[in-house]
Structure 1
Amino acid sequence: MPTGVHLHAARRRPTVLLALAVHLLLAGVSLAGCASEESPTEPPEPAGGSPTPARADGARDDLAALAAAAQDRHLTAQYTLTTDDGSTRTITMTNANDGSWRVDVPGWALGGTVDVSLVSTAEGLFQCTLPSAARPEPSGCVRLGDPDDTIPRRLDPRVQHPFTDWLDVLTDRQAPLAVSVSRPLPDSTGTCYSVESTSASLNPPLDVGIYCYDADGTPTAVRTAFGTLRLAGPPVAAPATVQLTGPVTEGEPVDVATPTPGESSADPTPTP
């Protein structure tokens, strides 16, 4: 081949290679543009139906909003309490308009022989005994402490917590809790949430379990260590404030334990 032809081909080779590189670069840009126009694929749900972090955060936010609505929900409502041994009783819970509250728990104290009421007002926290068919004595009350004081476990029926201080924990996003949507409890309405503790504390801020609320913040069911509470009927309007069931005395409060034979049980009922 003539020398001129070789020189001409050698001069064209860089130009051809440059054109090919530009073509590949433009093709890559075009493909990247097409890929960016496609909608992103949703991440697969974890095996076993466990919530993704985004869904878990959503459940925590939803429960916090319902708990905040429950704090503003003033009502009187009756709940059926079913315990592990299968026994049932009717709990009456009142959240008054001024922030005071009262819970009546039949058959709780002294081995199930005494009906009690816990009452929290601006003057303090009180335990009152209630008259019943088995114990017709007049009602009397004993002051346990200030309204926000912790109740000793032996004096604490615990059924009032889902309506009072545990609502503060459920609305606190810094509380060590893991929240997910749960299957509804039997005979419950609204939305139910499973609440677990993420702390190894010996005194967790609330009992783990299942908490159910209607859209307006009405607690409809709770299942924790003390048993299962279910709303027994439509709530009614709350009073302006709650009242003690009897006069305050200097007696001792009654606790959950059954008194041993021959032991005199403490009784806040005033002597006529």
Structure 2
Amino acid sequence: MPTGVHLRATRRRPTGLLALTVPLLLATGSPLAGCAADGTPPDPPEPASGTPAEADGARDELAALAAAAQDRHLTASYTLAVDGEASRTITVTSANDGTWRVDVPGWALGGTVDISLAATAEGLFQCALPSATRPEPAACVRLGDPDDTIPRRLDPRVQHPFTDWLDVLTDRQAPLAVSVSRPLPEATGTCYSVESTSASLNPPLDVGIYCYDADGTPTAVRTALGTLRLAAPPGPAPATVQLAGPVTEGEPLGTAVPPTPEEPATDPTTTP
């Protein structure tokens, strides 16, 4: 009889252990709860979003197009649209030898003088162009070496998308975030939104939207400056750019309006 009692006690132990184990498994989220009813393992989770890969792809695409733009030598006209101002036509020349010239109407001296910026083997130049408000012949002033930075007071900025900003767009180490953008109106090719990831007071380029054809032709740029759009199919590039006029010892022109000459004082006692 003692032996039978011992056996019955032994047989009850698995039941009590199972009663304790099932609630514990349910409470701790055991993998058993994730199994399908037929015993097959659950489907794997959905893969993470591909946004980082898409961003890297957009950055690579833009870098490749900017590199093609550096090798794209042409003569082209662009319409510059700025809110509250009449549209102007910017002429861009990228010569086969790497020299360049950008003509900007109505920029200097309060918008009364047309200028040209040019980089040649001899240096970086600003030229004042003849116009209806300035009938004098064109004359140029040397600003520095070809790769020098133009002082802010002399910088119209419209030349940057065709010159040094291309170096930034091809640099994978530059602090930029790039994504494919909705095309700008009347712009062909592919457009990219470019943001700065740096808190620097002097970002390497202006944030905005940059558009390129497959051959590297810049077709549109929208920044705080305004919107540049390719006005007509580009023409062939010259072998080298020519300055608009002779180099002089004069001073470069800024945007400030020149003072109005004072009228000569008259003697109130003088009678005609």
Residue 171 in 1 paired to residue 162 in 2?
A: no
Give the match for residue 232 of structure 1.
Answer: 231
Pairing 1:174-189 to 2, within 5 Å after superposition: 174-189=173-188
Closer, same or farther: CA 200–44 of 1 in aligned 2, 3 Å: closer
1:120 aligns with 2:116: no
Name the amino acid aligned to 2:150: I
Deviations 1:49-79 (A, max 9, x none): xxx1111111111110100000000000000
How much does 1:44 deviate?
A: 5.2
Amino acid of the structure 2 residue aligned with 1:187: E
Q: Distance in 1 between matches of 2:203 and 2:186?
A: 28
CA distance in structure 2 between the aligned counterparts of 1:44 and 1:174, rounded to whole angstroms: 24
Counterpart code for 1:75 = L
Distance 1:166 1:121, change over 3 A: same
Counterpart residue number, 2:253: 254
After TM superposition, where is structure 1 displaced by more than 6 Å over at least 4 residues in a row?
Answer: none
| Secondary structure at 1:60 match in 2 | helix
Aligned residue for 2:134? Answer: 135
Deviates more, 1:101-110 or 1:84-93: 84-93
Aligned mates of 1:262, 1:199 — CA distance in 2: 46
> How far apart are the structure 1 equivalents of 2:47 and 2:215?
32
Structure 1: how far apart are the matches of 2:77 and 2:99?
17
Deviation at 1:186, TM superposition (A): 1.0
Q: How far did 1:42 drift?
A: 4.7
TM-score, normalised on structure 1?
0.80
Q: What is the Cα deviation at residue 84 of structure 1? A: 2.4
**What runs of 5+ residues in structure 1 fail to find an aligned partner?**
11-23, 46-51, 264-272
Deviations along 1:188-232, one digit per CA (max 9) or x if unpaired, are 111111101010111110000110001110000001111110000
> How many angstroms does 1:98 deviate by?
0.2
Q: Separation in 2 of the partners of 1:173 and 1:150?
A: 22
SS at match of 2:153: helix
Q: Quick one: distance in 2 between partners of 1:162 and 1:114? A: 22
How much does 1:122 deviate?
A: 0.7
* 1:269 aligned partner: none
CA–CA distance in 2 between the matches of 1:255 and 1:191? 35
1:104 to 2:93 alignment: no
Partner of 1:57: 56
TM-score (norm 2): 0.80
Following superposition of structure 1 onto structure 2, how do residues 71-82 of structure 1 map, counting pairs within 5 Å? 71-82=70-81
Measured after TM superposition, the shift of residue 83 of structure 1 is: 1.1
Partner of 2:189: 190
The offset of 1:41, in angstroms, is 3.9
> Structure 1 vs Structure 2: percent identity of aligned residues?
79
Secondary structure of the residue aligned to 1:67 is helix
Cα distance, 1:124 vs. partner? 0.1
Structure 1 residue matching 2:104: 3-state secondary structure: strand
What letter matches 1:113 in structure 2? T
- Alpha-carbon displacement from aligned partner over 1:3-50 (angstroms, at most 9, x marks no partner): 9xx9xxx9xxxxxxxxxxxxx9xx99x946x968xxx845457xxxxx
The number of aligned residues is 235
Deviation, structure 1 residue 103: 0.3
Shift of 1:134: 2.4
Match of 2:268 in 1: none
Aligned residue number for residue 201 of structure 2: 202
**Structure having the higher Rg:** 2
